[in-house]
Amino acid sequence: MTTARDKAAFLTLLNDHKGIIYKIANAYGHRPEDREDLVQEITLQAWRSYPRYDSTYKVSTWLYRIALNVAISWFRKKDVRQKRELALEGKIEQRVDDSSADDEKEENLQTLHRFIGELKVLDKALMLLYLEDKSYEEIAEILHVSKTNVATKISRIKQKLKQRFASQKEN
């Protein structure tokens, strides 16, 4: 039985961390309608999971797990052709409206989005968590992999990212 107070508490919690939801929805869903679907689905699953929320974990850990699980499951439902189309559209659409952002920052962000878009679903999750400055321990908790594994994979991804930015500068 959910009360109005529960709903209010959930909404406050969700809005305090809505950046997480939007970032993941944008990373996995490239078209505006897909992102909207993902935001809805993440919100629904968070609401369903809320009564079981274990306060020994940070809210962000809990929400990252839900958002990533929803996004990965959603992305995997798309067939190969749709995924290819999404990746192509993503290259054009993946941005936030911000006229104040300077060109270099915008370009960096575009390159970063393109790079994230090309990663496998689980590597993508790892990359997002790395960019969020999460500790290896928290990343390991969210994904359920060892800290050593997290460190190794992040180092590999960072290397690829470095190469991508280097080739961008050359061009």
SS3 68: helix
CA distance 170 to 168: 5
Q: How far is the CB of 54 from other proteins (least distance, A)?
A: 8
Among 48, 87, 163, 167, binds other proteins (CB under 8 A): 48
SS3 148: helix
Taking each continuous run of H as one helix and of E as one strand, the counts in the chain are 9, 0
Taking CB under 8 A as the rule, which mask of x and - marks residues 72-111 in contact with other proteins?
xx--xx------------------x-x--x---x--xx--
* DSSP for residue 119: S
CA distance 70 to 63: 11
**Which residues sit at the interface with other proteins, rule CB under 8 A?**
7, 10-11, 14-15, 18-19, 21-23, 26, 39-41, 43-49, 52-54, 62, 65-66, 68-70, 72-73, 76-77, 96, 98, 101, 105, 108-109, 112, 120, 122-123, 125, 131-133, 141-146, 149, 153, 158, 161-162, 165
